[in-house]
Amino acid sequence: MAPRRLSKPERRRQLLDTALRIIREEGADRLTLGHLATRAGISKPVAYDHFGTRSGLLIELYRWIDAQWMNAFQDALATSLRSLENTAEILAAAYIHCAADMNGDFHAVGAALAGSEEKAAVFQELLDNCVRLFVSVLEPHSSRSPAELEQCCVGLVGAGEALSAAVVRGRCREPEAIKAFTLLIQGGMRTSPP
């Protein structure tokens, strides 16, 4: 009996899984559509049909990794949050853990896209999504105006990016990054007395 043919979404997932394995095992420089097709056991035209170009593949992989990260992040935040301290600790731990748990995949794909205008647009889209998530989680703990809260969250997401990159590069340990990020979140939500 012949194996069942994969649907287009199933094939796309298989190709993204294979692309991620290539990056982990061989490095991002080895990820080409031709090599992906060989490793996935398909013809080159199938790979080109799904992604068009190597940049198209990298951008889809970037989005796919981010979607997995955001799902894990939202799962961690699904518990009922009470105090600012508790919220900040859960938010910081979820952000740093999810980013560090990806073994640097997101950073590796981002580096492979360095200098690409497409990458800059996609990266900004992903950062904007994360800022919106931070705003929604922190809004109950903030007395700031919506615009101030959003700008504060932009800064917090930037700090989270820097701290998670430091963990991935071995410049600090995950618990240290979580503690620092928790303090930054708490500080960002407190307003000075008038």
Taking 50 as the threshold, does the pLDDT of residue 138 lie above it? Answer: yes
**What average pLDDT does the chain have?**
85
- Do residues 66 and 133 make contact, with C-beta atoms less than 8 angstroms apart? no
10 Å CB burial of residue 87 (0-12, 13-18, 19+) is buried
Segment 130-149 shows an average pLDDT of: 91
Q: What percent of the chain has pLDDT over 70?
A: 91
128 vs 4, residue with greater confidence: 128
Residue 185 CA to residue 178 CA, distance in Å, equals 10
What would the pLDDT profile of 75-104 be if each residue is shown by its tens digit? Answer: 777 766 578 898 899 889 988 887 766 556
pTM, to two decimals: 0.72
Domains, the chain, with CATH or none: 1-52 (1.10.10.60), 62-189 (1.10.357)
Residue 178 CA to residue 142 CA, distance in Å, equals 21
Nearest to 154 by CA among 125, 180, 134: 134
What would the pLDDT profile of 33-88 be if each residue is shown by its tens digit? Answer: 999 999 999 999 999 999 999 889 988 988 888 888 778 777 777 766 578 898 89
